[in-house]
Chain A
Amino acid sequence: MVEYRIDRRSGIATYLQIVQQTKQALRLGLLEPGDRLPTAKEVVAATAINPNTVLKAYRELEREGLVEPRPGLGTFVRRSLARPGAAADSPLRAELADWTDRARAAGLDREDLTALVASVLEERFGETAAPGERGHEENG
Chain B
Amino acid sequence: MTDEIDASGALEAAGLGKKYRRGWALTDAAFRLPAGRICALVGPNGSGKSTLLSLAAGLLAPTTGTLRVFGRSAADPGIRERIAFVAQDKPLYPRFSVADTLRLGRELNPSWDQRAAERVVAEADVPLSARVGSLSGGQRTCVALALALGKRADLLLLDEPMADQDPLRRHRMMGVLMAEAAERGTGVVISTHVVAELDGVCDYLLLMGGGRIRLAGEADALQSAHRLVTGPSATGGGTPDALARHTVVETRTTGRQLTALIRPDGTPDGDGWIVTEPSLEDVLLGYLRAPDAPPLFTAEARTTFTEVEA
Chain A residues with CB under 8 Å of chain B are 6, 8, 14, 39-41, 44-54, 136-137, 139-140
Contacts and interface: CB of A to CB of B under 8 A. Distances in A.
B5 interface: no
Counting from the closest, the 5 A-B pairs by CB-CB distance are A51-B182, A44-B178, A48-B174, A45-B179, A41-B182
Contacts of B175: 44-48
B179 to A, nearest CB: 4
Contacts of A14: 200
B181 A139 contact: no
B178 A45 contact: yes
Given A44-B182, A45-B178, A50-B38, A140 B259 contact: yes
Given A41-B183, A49-B178, A139 B201 contact: no
Contacts of A52: 203
Nearest to A6: B200
Interface string B151-191: 00000000000000000000110111111011100000000
B276 A51 contact: no
Interface in B68-115: none
B199 A8 contact: yes
A139 B259 contact: yes
A52 to B, nearest CB: 6
A117 to B, nearest CB: 28
B255 to A, nearest CB: 14
A37 B121 CA distance: 28
